[in-house]
Structure 1
């Protein structure tokens, strides 16, 4: 029996996934959590073999959880299951140690098979996303540029960003200008949107 943990902040999605996976004779859902920061403890106490992780959850993102599981419970495999089929997320998930990455509209039979393959030590990645990820390449943004673009997504002004990251407004403008150039955008807001769509943020 393959023990599965489900982590998704949407109860409806979690319930649907649990119902579908429980129909499989060799899969058993042993734990369900709604927050990223609850996964490690739940995985440890339930003895989960495979954790199905959403990307965007409160407490901790699925990508951060993957990194934590890889480091702390290396015998537990991570399969990222997300609505957000962004190519950059694929690369970041795999870099964090995920064994697989699929989108939520994957047919039930294919999802169950992905769980089995991941449990068997194989890697499973949605083929369309894998191709896009290879074409897009890794993020070219620096850590600081990414940080500032996240603030731009929240609508922060240059002055507010400068206060948050403890830099001068001129330095913040320089970083934003570099990020705009790297994304081919016309403004910081557009650069942030493009970076987010590529899964770089």
Structure 2
């Protein structure tokens, strides 16, 4: 589902307040985007991301340098549905591949232009990955191809469908999933129907069982749905 009709809520994380302020002012000129929080540390990042209903977190790699990239996984677990775009001057194949493996949706070298910044945010909000390095078109294509390497599980589901599946397995109903992912109930119902069709099942119990069998879920995940 495209989000052009919705405002994309963005959290900025950078150790330098002036940089945060400048990027925030720039983002506010983009259509349907707003910056809801600016943070300068990993602790603030976790706290503010949990407090605000954030769609995309734009994070300077220096903010999570102490704990390592695993902290991005912690952020995703804390805020299901959040999309992470990392900014850095370091753009080796290994680093970018690792970002994708821990769940980031985008990477921007700090030499990227304004249009790349806007594209990265929009694609992340729509559940698509975007990689931009500073090494020219050929290098860009090589980096983009690593999405397939990082997603070598060959899941039959799209990224969004996988997110819906995880929440279904935790016991969330369609309305709660829609609220969590900031989309309509109708969109979630469509995703659920598509997931069942792709996995060849007709009810939720069979869906979870088949997802576990295929390795799409680690194990049953009981959850008391929030009221």
State the partner residue of 2:142.
131
Secondary structure of 1:57's counterpart equals helix
Distance 1:62 1:54 in 2: 12
Higher Rg of the two aligned structures: 1
Cα contact 2:10–2:36 (8 A) shared by 1: yes
Shift, 1:51, TM fit? 0.2
User: Alignment length, in residue pairs?
Assistant: 137
The 8 Å contact of residues 64 and 71 in structure 2, kept in 1 or not, is answered as no
The 1:50/1:114 distance shift into structure 2, 3 A limit, reads same
2: CA distance between counterparts of 1:81 and 1:47? Answer: 21
1:69-84 to structure 2, matched below 5 A, reads 69-84=75-90
> Equivalent residue for 2:114?
108
Give, in whole Å, the separation in 2 of the partners of 1:17 and 1:85: 20
State the TM-score, normalizing by the size of structure 2: 0.54
SS at match of 1:28: strand
Higher relative contact order (CA 8 A, sep 6+): 1
Shift of 1:112: 1.1
Which ranges in structure 2 are unaligned for 5 or more consecutive residues? 1-6, 134-138, 151-227
Question: Is residue 43 of structure 1 aligned with residue 49 of structure 2?
Answer: yes
The match for 2:31 among 25, 29, 46 is 25
Q: Judging changes above 3 Å, is the alpha-carbon distance between structure 1 residues 114 and 132 closer, same or farther for their aligned structure 2 residues? A: closer
Q: Are residues 1:118 and 2:129 paired?
A: no
1:9-44 CA distance string (max 9 Å, x none): 122221221111011121101001001222121011
Q: Does the CA contact (< 8 Å) of 2:88 and 2:110 recur in 1? A: yes
Q: Scaled by the length of structure 1, what TM-score is found?
A: 0.60
State the Cα distance separating 1:60 from its structure 2 match.
4.4
Q: Are residues 59 and 132 of structure 1, via their aligned partners in 2, closer, same or farther at CA, if it must alter by over 3 Å?
A: closer
The structure where helix makes up a greater share of residues is: 1
RMSD of aligned C-alpha atoms? 2.5
SS at the partner of 2:54?
A: coil
| Alignment correspondent of 2:73 | 67
Instruction: Verify: 1:55 aligned to 2:66, yes or no.
Output: no
